[in-house]
């Protein structure tokens, strides 16, 4: 009895792995018989675990999300919060790029079964939220970023990575996009030292008429003359 259950579990896992590859290579129009052939099992085995293609497609995507939840846990355990989040986001995009046909079909058609996929989506978003919260608390990610922002960026990143003709440049664009999430560097503001006159570096130090040393003013326009007498004398001479 236990051996039969183990065989059934292995057959189900084999069908799931094969279906993901076949859907990515040949599209969703492929038949369950074709998937059974590629998996090396009988068609009855496929139908016993997945009575329809819709259920199989949903199970394939749910399995993918569950694997990503495990990846989120691994990133959280081996990296600092900011790098854990960005490493996870890049892994999601890289591993999902080859599954674009399945992802697009299941997310754009509301008639697909949702019970299994919905539970997997909740666990995925929970893992994503934990990574985001830790990264924000560490000051590595902008405070105004939300989980639904990350979900939108992931969908866009998968599309960018999949459709770009140059895979290297596509990956570079994805990284540039994700960098916008990082906390901007703090620019140090340089202020005058206490007691230093505002115009010390540019203001004249001596009267332009008599040469006497000018008084230092902490605010306002710097003087050019030591007093009214020199100012009037300079104005008369200029006239």
Q: How far is 155 from 18, CA to CA, in rounded Å?
A: 24
pLDDT tens digits along 107-152? 566 655 578 888 998 999 999 999 999 999 999 999 999 999 999 9
Q: Please say if the pLDDT value at position 198 is more than 80.
A: no
In contact, 39 and 15? CB cutoff 8 Å: yes
Q: How would residue 202 be classed by pLDDT, with cut points 50, 70 and 90?
A: low
Q: Which residue has the higher pLDDT, 235 or 33?
A: 33
Would you list the domain boundaries of the chain?
52-179, 197-239
Q: How far is 117 from 44, CA to CA, in rounded Å?
A: 24
The overall average pLDDT reported for the chain is 81
The fold for domain 52-179 equals Tetracycline Repressor; domain 2 (1.10.357)
CA distances to 62, 87, 88, 141, 208 from 184, in Å: 36, 19, 21, 9, 48
Q: Please say if the pLDDT value at position 29 is more than 90.
A: no
Q: How far is 102 from 104, CA to CA, in rounded Å?
A: 6
List, in order, residues 6 or more apart from 119 with CB less than 8 Å away. 62
In contact, 89 and 150? CB cutoff 8 Å: yes
Q: Which residue has the higher pLDDT, 107 or 183?
A: 183
- Phi/psi for 206 (5° steps) reads -130, 155
Q: How would you class 72 by CB atoms within 10 Å of its CB: exposed for 0-12, middle for 13-18, buried for 19 or more?
A: buried
| Number of Cβ atoms within 10 Å of the Cβ of 98 | 17
Q: Please say if the pLDDT value at position 176 is more than 80.
A: yes
Q: Please say if the pLDDT value at position 239 is more than 70.
A: no
Q: Which residue has the higher pLDDT, 5 or 53?
A: 53
What's the pLDDT score for residue 118?
86
Find the mean pLDDT for residues 157-179: 88
List the structure tokens of 40.
């090396």
What's the pLDDT score for residue 219?
61
Q: How would residue 177 be classed by pLDDT, with cut points 50, 70 and 90?
A: very high
Q: Please say if the pLDDT value at position 8 is more than 80.
A: yes
Instruction: Please report, rounded to a whole number, the percentage of residues in the chain having pLDDT higher than 90.
Output: 36
Instruction: Please report, rounded to a whole number, the percentage of residues in the chain having pLDDT higher than 70.
Output: 74
| Number of Cβ atoms within 10 Å of the Cβ of 127 | 20
Q: Please say if the pLDDT value at position 37 is more than 50.
A: yes
Find the mean pLDDT for residues 59-67: 90
Q: Which residue has the higher pLDDT, 107 or 65?
A: 65
For residue 158, which of 100, 223, 224 has the smallest C-alpha distance? 100
- Residue given tokens 């749910």 in the structure block: 62
In contact, 38 and 22? CB cutoff 8 Å: yes
Q: Which residue has the higher pLDDT, 107 or 163?
A: 163
């Amino acid at each position: 009895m236990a051996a039969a259950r183990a065989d059934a579990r292995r057959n189900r896992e084999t069908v799931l792995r094969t279906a993901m590859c076949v859907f990515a290579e040949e599209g969703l129009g492929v038949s369950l018989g074709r998937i059974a052939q590629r998996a090396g099992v009988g068609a009855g085995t496929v139908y016993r675990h997945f009575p329809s293609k819709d259920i199989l497609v949903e199970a394939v995507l749910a399995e993918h999300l569950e694997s990503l939840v495990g990846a989120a846990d691994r990133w959280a355990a081996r990296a600092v919060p900011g790098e854990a989040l960005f490493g996870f986001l890049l892994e999601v995009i890289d591993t999902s790029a080859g599954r674009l046909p399945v992802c697009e079909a299941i997310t754009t058609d509301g008639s697909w079964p949702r019970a299994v996929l919905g539970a997997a989506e909740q666990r995925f978003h929970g893992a994503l939220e934990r990574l985001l919260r830790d990264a924000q608390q560490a000051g590595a990610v902008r405070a105004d970023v939300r989980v639904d922002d990350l979900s939108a960026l992931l969908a866009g990143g998968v599309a960018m990575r999949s459709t770009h003709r140059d895979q290297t440049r596509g990956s570079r664009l994805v990284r540039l996009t994700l960098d916008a999430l990082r906390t901007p560097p703090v620019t140090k503001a340089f202020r005058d030292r206490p007691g230093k006159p505002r115009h010390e570096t540019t203001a004249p130090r001596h009267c332009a008429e008599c040469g006497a040393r000018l008084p230092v003013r902490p605010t306002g326009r710097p003087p050019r003359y030591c007093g009214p007498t020199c100012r009037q004398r300079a104005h008369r001479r200029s006239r």
